[in-house]
Structure 1
Amino acid sequence: MIVLAFGPGLSGCILGSERPELNLEVPEKYRAASSAGPDAALPVLDWWRGFGSGELTSLMDATQINNLDIAVAIAQVVQADAQVGVAGSPLLPSLTGAASAERAHFGSTSSAISSGSNLGGGVTGTGGGRGGGSSNFSQFSTSLTASYMLDFWGKNQAALHAAEESATASRYNREVVTLTAIVTVANTYFQILAAQDQLRVTRENLAAAERILALIRTQFAGGTASQLDVSQQEALTGTQRAAIPPLEVTIGQNIAALAVLVGRAPANFSVRGGSTSRIKVPRVTPGLPSELLYQRPDIRQAEALLAASNFSVEQARAAFFPQIQLTGTGGFQSSALASLFTPGAAFSTLTASLTQPIFDGFLLESQLKQAKGVQLQDLQAYRKAVLSAFSDVEKALVALQKFTLQERLQAQVVASSRTAFDVAEKQLRGGTINLITVLQAEQTLFTAEITLVQVRLSKLLAATSLFQALGGGWTPAGTLVSLQ
C-alpha cells in the first residue's frame, strides 16, 4: 500500500516529445492599414456601442444572454470539462470497498456431492461437514482494494493534457460562436435599416413619379404630349410601385431572423429600426498582425486543438511501453460475525503486474499513425486559420476604406441628380423641356438614391467584418498567455 503513494511521482518520462514546427509567415504590418499608430484605436470589448444605436446595443445584450447557439457552445464547454475529469481519473489510485455474507447448507454425502457438482466443486474444503450428515456453513468478509497504474511513460498524463487542451479549445469555440452571433445580429439589423431606407426612398420616388405622370397626362389632354410619353411614365411609376413588396419582404424576413438570434419568438418580436444614415462607423485600427494571433478566438481554438493532438501522439506512443499495475487488498474474513474484526481474522495481499504488448495485429502502430495524421491535420488547419485571419483583416480594411470613399462620391451624385430632377420638373410644368430629358433625370435620381443606400449598407457590413476579422474586442495584451 505504501508503494501506491509514490506512484504518481513516477509518471511523464516521455511527455512533451512531440512538437511539430509551425513555420508561420507573419507580416510586419497590413498592406491596407492606415498610417496611424498601432495603438491609436484598437477595438474595445463592447465595440458595437461605437455605432451609436441604442437599439442595436440592446439587441447585442439580449443575444449574449439568450442566443441558443451560444447556449449550445456553453454546454459543450461543460462536457469538455467533464472529459478532463474522466481523462485524469487514471492518474489517481482507485479504492474499492466490498462486504459479503455467505450461508451454505449441506445435506447427505450423496446430496453434497451432487450439489458440489452443480456448484462447480464449491463444497470441497468448506465448513468441515461430516459425511452422511448435514451441516451449515457461514462466511463473512469485508475488504478494501486499492489499485494504481504507474504512469511511468506518461500515457495517462498525455491523455489528461489532451483533454485539457480540448477543453480550452471548447472555450475558444464559445467565443467564436459568440462573436459570430453578435456580428450576425449587427449585419441583420443593418440590413433591416437599409431595407427601411430603400422603402422610404422608393415611396418618395413613387410620389415624384406620380406627380410627373399627372403633369404628362394633363399635357396629353391638351395635345402637347403623346401617348408614348404617358406610357413611358406609367411604366416608370409602375416599376417604383412594384419595388415596394420585395422590400417589405426583406424587412419582415430579417426581423424574423433577428428574433431567433436573440432567442425570441418572431410573432412577439419587433424592431423599431431607423436609417443607415444615422449609424456612425466607429474608428478602429487593426494593430500589428502578430497581435492577431492572440486576439482571434478561432486561431486560439486551432492552436489548442493542435496542442491536444500533440499530446494524443504522445499518448499513442506511450502505449507501446510496458504497463505496471499495483494492487493492494486488506480486510477481515471470518466464519462468525462476532469475531469478524478480531486480529486473527485480518488478511492482506499486495500484487504487482506488468503487461507488455507483443503482437496486437498492428493496432498500436495504426493508432499512432492515426494520431499523427490528426496532428498533421490540426497543424495545417492552424496555419490556414492564421493566413485566413490576415486575409480577412486585409479584405475588411480595403472594403471599409473604399466603401467610405464611394459613399461620399455617391452622395454627390445624389445631390446633383436631385438638382437636375427639380429643374426638370419645374421646366416640365412650364412646358419648356423635352419629356425624354425629364424621364432620364427621373431615372438617374431614383437609381442614385437606391445606390447610395446600398453603399451605406456595404460600408456598415465592412465595418462589422473588420471587427469580426480582428476577433471582436481586444483584451489587454498583458493578460494573454500563449498555449504553445
Structure 2
Amino acid sequence: MTHRALTLTLLACSVLTGCASHAPITEPPPKVDLPTGWTVAGAPAAGTPAAGAPAAGTPAAGTPDHQEWPDKNWWQRFGSPELTHLVDEGQSSNLELAGALARVKQAEAEARIAGVSLLPTANFYGDASRAVPIGSGRASTSAGGSLQVSYEVDFWGKNKASVASAEASLAANRFDRQTVALTVTSGIVSTYLQVLSLHDRLAVAREHVANAEHVLKLVEVQQSAGAASTLDLARQRSAVAQQKSDIPDLMQQEREAQSALAILLGKTPQTFSVGQHGLDTITLPEVSPGLPSELLSRRPDIRRAEANLAAADANVAVARANLFPSINLTGAMGAQSSALLSLLNAPNLLANVSASLMAPIFDGGRLKRERDLAIARKQELVQVYRATVITALSEVDTALGQIRSLDEQQRFKTAELEQARQAYDLAEIRYKSGAEDLMTVLDTQRALSDVQNDMGKLKLKRLQATVSLYKALGGGWKDDQRQGSSPPATT
C-alpha cells in the first residue's frame, strides 16, 4: 500500500472515531410523587410535589461510594462504647459484608474489561522452520513474523454504551454494599439491645423470686403461729416455683441472642459474650427525620435501583447499536526471510492496512428480539425504582408511627407500674398485720411482675424502633449535619 493510501486510511479512522465519541444517551430516573414532610404522627404531610431525579446536590449513579451522609457513626448516639466496638468489629469481620465487597471487586474488574473494547488490539505471530533434505543438497532455514493491529470503530456508540453499562453496574454493586453494611450495622445494634434487655428481664425475674421467697417466709411464720393455713403455704410455694421457672427460659433466650450477635460479628458463639449490664446504660437518641425527598440521595437501595436503571438504559443502547454494521480497521506489518539474521532487513518487510464492514442481513430476528428484551428489562427496572422509593417512604412512616405509639404506651405503662408497686407494698404490709389475705398479696405480686416485664419489652421496642428509623432513613438525622457531624461513611 502506498504512503498516500495509508494516510487516507488513518485519516478515515480518526474521523470515524470522532463520530463515535458521543456517549450513550441516558434518561433521568422516573418521577415519583413525594410528600413535603412528615407529620407528628409519622404520616406524610399534605402535598405531593413531583420528584424525578435525586435531590439537589445528589451525585450521579456512577459516583464512587463516598457519599455525604448526615451522620457517619449514628450508632454512637446510643452512648455505648461497647456497642461502638462491636459495630466496628462487625464492619470488618461480617461475612455478608465481605461477600458484598467481593462483588464490588468483581464489578470493578468487569468495568475494566468493558473499557478494553475502546482500545485497539495488537497481536504478534512468529514462526521459524529448518528443512533438511534426506538426499543431497543443503539445509535451508526460513523465518517469518508479523504484528497485527485491529480496531473496531465505535461509530454507533455500542462500545461506549457497554462501558457505561459496566460502570453503572459497578455503582449498583457499591450501593448494594452500602445497603448490606447498613443492614448489618442495624442488625448488630438491634441484637445488642435485645441482649441487654434480656439482662434486665433476668434481673427483674430474680428480683421477683426474692420477693416471693420473702413472702414465703412470712407465710411460714404465720402458719407456725396458726395465722395462715396450709393452703396458703402451698400457694406461696407454688408462686415461688413459678417465678423460678421463668429464669431458665430467659437464660436460653439470652444465649440465643448472644449467639445471633456473634454470627453478625463473624465470631463463634462459644468464644463470645457481652458485658453484664442492661438498657440503663443506653441513651435514647432524639428523633428528627428530615425531609422525605432526602431519601433519594441517602438510601443506598434507592441509589442502587437508580444505577441498575442506568445500566439497563445503556444496555438498550448496546442492543440498538447491534442492529447496525460494525466497522473494523486492521493494520499489519510482517517480515519473511530464508535467513534468520536477515529477517528484519528492509527488503523483507511487508505492511498493509485494511478496513472491513460487517452488517447483519438475516439472523432470524435475534438482534431485534434482544433489543426488545433490553427495552422490557428497562421498563421492569423503572417499576422497581418506583417501588423502592415508595417502600422507603412506607418504612420511614411505619418507624415514626411506632415511635409515637410506643412513647404513648410507655407513658401509660409508667403510671401503671407506679400503682402496681404501691399496691404490692400495701398488700404486703396489710398481710403482715393480718388485714389482708394471701390471695391479695399474690395478685398484686403477679400484677407487678407482669407490668415490669411489659415495661422492659416496651423499652426495648422503643430503642429498636429508633434503630429501624435510622435504617429506613439510610443513616442519621439531617439535624446531625447542621450540628457538625462526622465525615462521610458508607453505612
Please classify the TM superposition score into its range, dividing by the shorter chain length: 0.7 to 0.9
- Counterpart for residue 10 of structure 1: 19
Task: Among all aligned residue pairs of Structure 1 and Structure 2, give the percentage whose two residues are the same amino acid.
Answer: 38
- SS of the residue corresponding to residue 274 of structure 1 reads coil
AA of the residue aligned to 2:27: R
CA shift in 2, pair 1:21/1:85, >3 Å: closer
**1:80 paired residue among 95, 107, 110:** 107
Q: TM-score, normalised by structure 1?
A: 0.87
Q: Secondary structure at the match of 1:243?
A: helix
- Residue 127 of structure 1 corresponds to none
| Comparing 200-209 and 250-259, the one that deviates more | 250-259
Q: Is the 8 A contact 1:12 1:155 kept in 2?
A: no
The one-letter code of the counterpart of 1:59 is L
Aligned pair partner of 2:129 in 85, 88, 102: 102
Structure 1 unmatched ranges of 5 or more: 36-41, 109-132
1: CA distance between counterparts of 2:441 and 2:477?
Answer: 53
Please tell me the residue identity of whatever aligns with 2:130: R
Q: 1:266, 1:14 → 2: CA distance? A: 52
Deviates more, 1:443-452 or 1:219-228: 219-228
Q: CA deviation at 1:269?
A: 1.9
Question: In the TM superposition, what is the alpha-carbon distance from 1:353 to its structure 2 partner?
Answer: 1.1
Q: Which residue number corresponds to residue 245 of structure 2?
A: 242
Retained in 2: the 8 A contact 1:31–1:394?
A: no
Per the TM alignment, residue 163 of structure 1 is displaced from its structure 2 partner at its CA by: 0.4
Structure 2 residue aligned with 1:198: 201
The residue aligned with 1:448 is 451
The 8 Å contact of residues 290 and 477 in structure 2, kept in 1 or not, is answered as no
Count of aligned pairs: 448
Q: Is the 8 A contact 2:23 2:160 kept in 1?
A: no
Q: Which position in structure 2 is the counterpart of 1:146?
A: 149
Q: Is the 8 A contact 1:14 1:153 kept in 2?
A: no
User: Amino acid of the residue matched to residue 391 of structure 1?
Assistant: S
Distance 2:151 2:118 in 1: 8
1:23 aligns with 2:26: no
Matches within 5 A, 1:83-232: 83-105=110-132, 136-232=139-235
CA RMSD of aligned residues (A): 2.4
3-state SS of the aligned residue for 2:381? helix
Which stretch shows the higher mean deviation, 207-216 or 439-448? Answer: 207-216
Q: Is 1:266 aligned to 2:269, yes or no?
A: yes
**In the alignment, is residue 45 of structure 1 matched against residue 72 of structure 2?**
yes
Residue aligning to 2:470: 467
Q: Could you tell me how far 1:418 is from its partner in structure 2?
A: 0.8
The answer (yes or no) to whether the contact 1:64–1:182 under 8 Å persists in 2 is yes
Corresponding letter in the other structure for 2:95:
L
User: Where does residue 387 of structure 2 map in the other structure?
Assistant: 384
Does 1:294 pair with 2:303? Answer: no
Alignment-mate amino acid for residue 22 of structure 1: P
Secondary structure of the structure 2 residue equivalent to 1:148: strand
CA distance in 2, matches of 1:378, 1:80: 19
Instruction: Kindly indicate whether the alpha-carbon contact (under 8 Å) linking 1:156 and 1:315 is maintained by their aligned counterparts in 2.
Output: yes
Contact 1:323 1:354 in 2 (8 A): yes
SS at match of 2:155: coil
Counterpart code for 2:294: E
Change (3 A) 1:25 1:211: same
Contact 2:176–2:304 (Cα < 8 Å) also in 1: yes
Greater mean alpha carbon deviation, residues 330-339 or residues 343-352: 330-339
Deviates more, 1:218-227 or 1:249-258: 218-227
Letter in structure 2 aligned against 1:302: A
Q: In structure 1, what is the Cα distance between the partners aligned to 2:39 and 2:98?
A: 38
Q: Is the 8 A contact 2:198 2:250 kept in 1?
A: yes
4+ runs deviating over 6 angstroms: 474-477
User: CA, structure 1 residues 55+14, in 2 after alignment: closer, same or farther (shift >3 Å)?
Assistant: closer
CA–CA distance in 2 between the matches of 1:10 and 1:160?
A: 17
Indicate the SS of the match to 1:395. helix
The answer on 1:251 being equivalent to 2:278 is no
What is the deviation of 1:308? 0.5
> For structure 2, which runs of at least 5 residues remain unmatched after alignment?
1-5, 44-68
Deviations 1:157-186 (A, max 9, x none): 111000000000111111111111111000
Q: Distance in 2 between matches of 1:360 and 1:339?
A: 49
Say if 1:161 and 1:149 are closer, same or farther in 2 by CA, change over 3 A. same
Judging changes above 3 Å, is the alpha-carbon distance between structure 1 residues 9 and 236 closer, same or farther for their aligned structure 2 residues?
farther
Amino acid of the structure 1 residue aligned with 2:418: A
* 1:312 alignment partner, one of 309, 312, 315: 315
Query: Is contact 1:172–1:300 with CA below 8 Å preserved after alignment?
Result: yes
Q: Is 1:349 matched with 2:352? A: yes
1:433 partnered with 2:436: yes
Tell me, yes or no, if structure 1 residue 64 matches structure 2 residue 72. no
Q: Assess if the C-alpha contact under 8 Å between 2:42 and 2:400 holds in 1.
A: no
Among residues 316, 322, 327, which one is paired with 1:324 in the alignment? 327
2:42–2:401 Cα contact (<8 Å) kept: no
Q: Distance in 1 between matches of 2:42 and 2:365?
A: 58
Instruction: Tell me by how many angstroms 1:29 deviates.
Output: 0.9
182-191 vs 336-345, greater mean Cα deviation: 336-345
Contact 2:42 2:397 in 1 (8 A): no
Q: CA deviation at 1:44?
A: 1.9
